[in-house]
Structure 1
Amino acid sequence: MTTGPKFTPQEINTLSHDDFVQVLSSVFEGPPWIVAEAWSSRPFLSLDHLHASLCAVMYAAPIEQQVALIRAHPDLVGRAALAGTLSPSSTNEQAAAGLDRLTAAEIETFSHYNQAYRERFGFPFVICARENKKENILAGFEQRLHNSRSQEITLALGEVAKICLLRLRDLIRS
């Protein structure tokens, strides 16, 4: 993430479908179906246009596909984080929120919230960690556990969109 953006929007527009998917596959967790489908929306006039096109695909998907996208996200301070097996993007994002420097008691608190949230909604809690610190994330758990499942799907997709934009900014010069 510290190397700076690698591509211009014009360069992104010239990529083959396979190269486009390979270059942008990291902007979403899980299989790159959103990126693959958005390729046909070229040319992208700007980073914001590309982001809007990607999000349009995400929001237009059937609910089952949206939930699968949410489920592709790792738990915050979950098993993958503790084992060091997160994607590089997720590792850096959780570290930016200070989630790599927690006490044993804080890890237990996150574990409790992760479990309660998954039991209630059937998918992990998604929040843009780069825009939050641990205190805000814990407060988010407490607030959002009272929402309906449909409210949480909507909120989670909004957070996925924020994550996508930040990851695009890491890849593309505007």
Structure 2
Amino acid sequence: MMKLDDLNHASLADFVKGLDGTYEHSPWIAERAAAHRPFKTLAALKVALARVVREAHVDEQLGLIRAHPELAGKAAVAGELTAESTNEQLKAGLTACTPEEFAKLHKLNADYNARFGWPFILAVRGPRGTGFNRAEIIATFERRLRAHPDLERAECLRQIHRIAEIRLNDKFGVRPELGEQLWDWAAELAVHSEDEAFLTCTYATPAHTAVAEQLMTWMRDCGFDNVSRDAVGNVVGVYHGTGDATEQQRLLTGSHYDTVRRAGRFDGRLGIFVPMLVVRELHRAGQRLPFGIEVVGFSEEEGQRYAATFLASSALTGAFDPVWLDQTDTHGVSMRDAMRAAGLPGKVAAITALKRDRSRYLGFVEVHIEQGPVLDSLDLPLGIV
């Protein structure tokens, strides 16, 4: 198993050899990245390699793309793939295509090459690492065949970086278990939707209530000391710090679990899952911080069912407007009645009682998925704003 310290102290030739196969037939990437040693973490190495590609001339980028084999193409049939590509296509089942699937992929490869001038690139092991099936691969192939060439070139490079990340994890024996858990939670919550084809979870609907109940179950499993659902449907988990829990300050964190219509799985919910995992790891290690952690899954932010955006956080800041309770949705159901149908009191007194004492809190931190192109364009996994 490769070790980062060995790479940091290796000769240039050994450094390049150690990373052989990470980027298909492109040793120049490792050669240039070597100048940025030492790397403190595997993530730093990944960023350095990706930056080399991003800063390369467009002809070099195209050369990198063209160094990749077609999926289930001639090189695969002839057994001429690299060991890494062979393993990836094998796991995706591309070596076991039916005659119809093989013919379909053959035509897609030809059409794609004719349109773009390079092979179709897809990290077939997928975002979770377990792999796409052949139907998913073909559907993605067909969709991307309609893309603009500039956008498709950028997408190919993004997929290449994902392939490299998976290969590096394999080389270093790293399994992103926390990321996999987060991915699985998001997938499981996405089952609760008002729309069968897309993720839609608006305030105080049966899907919304099911999400809240699942979050409470997971919070208890993570080791939170107190877990509850408050008068506006916020899911609140508290993990005590050291000392007297009644007097200690807390760090408040969290995000919303309602969604827009046709939503992404991670919008809002990522900011609930990450601190849940933090608490889980602290609990497993038997550790407490000098302050408490309060994680809030806010029940509403998007204003999709009622014109009362941020009603959940407004209750905590004391800004909830009682007039909102009389608003009606498109079916004529008032917010008050919707709350009661969801098992909430729907009473002003219960809502105003949720106001937090600011002196008890160190601050508020929210983890949120980026909804723009900046981090992706810079090949960075995290930004602080």
Alpha-carbon offset, residue 90 of structure 1: 0.2
Query: What does residue range 1-174 of structure 1 map to in structure 2 within 5 Å?
Result: 6-131=1-126, 132-173=132-173
Distance 2:124 2:173 in 1: 22
Deviation string for 1:88-138 (max 9, x for gaps)? 100000011111111111111100000000000000000001112211111
- Taking structure 1 as the reference length, the TM-score comes to 0.94
Alpha-carbon offset, residue 171 of structure 1: 1.1
Alpha-carbon offset, residue 17 of structure 1: 0.3
Distance 1:111 1:130 in 2: 20
Does structure 2 conserve the Cα–Cα contact (< 8 Å) formed by 1:8 and 1:173?
no
Distance 1:159 1:75 in 2: 14
Q: Which residue identity is paired with 2:55?
A: A
Aligned-residue sequence identity (percent) comes to: 37
Which has the larger Rg? Answer: 2
Q: What is the CA RMSD across the aligned residues, in angstroms?
A: 0.9
Q: Deviating runs (4+, > 3 A) in structure 1?
A: none
Distance 1:37 1:87 in 2: 22
Does structure 2 conserve the Cα–Cα contact (< 8 Å) formed by 1:126 and 1:159?
yes
Alpha-carbon offset, residue 31 of structure 1: 2.8
Structure with higher helix content:
1
Unaligned runs of 5+ in 2: 127-131, 175-385
Alpha-carbon offset, residue 173 of structure 1: 4.3
Alpha-carbon offset, residue 84 of structure 1: 1.2
1:3 aligns to what?
Answer: none
Does structure 2 conserve the Cα–Cα contact (< 8 Å) formed by 1:28 and 1:160?
yes
Alpha-carbon offset, residue 40 of structure 1: 0.4
Unaligned runs of 5+ in 1: 1-5
Does structure 2 conserve the Cα–Cα contact (< 8 Å) formed by 1:97 and 1:133?
yes
Higher relative contact order (CA 8 A, sep 6+): 1
Distance 1:133 1:90 in 2: 16
Q: Which residue identity is paired with 1:96?
A: K
- Taking structure 2 as the reference length, the TM-score comes to 0.43
Structure with higher strand content:
2
Alpha-carbon offset, residue 163 of structure 1: 0.3
SS at match of 2:59: helix
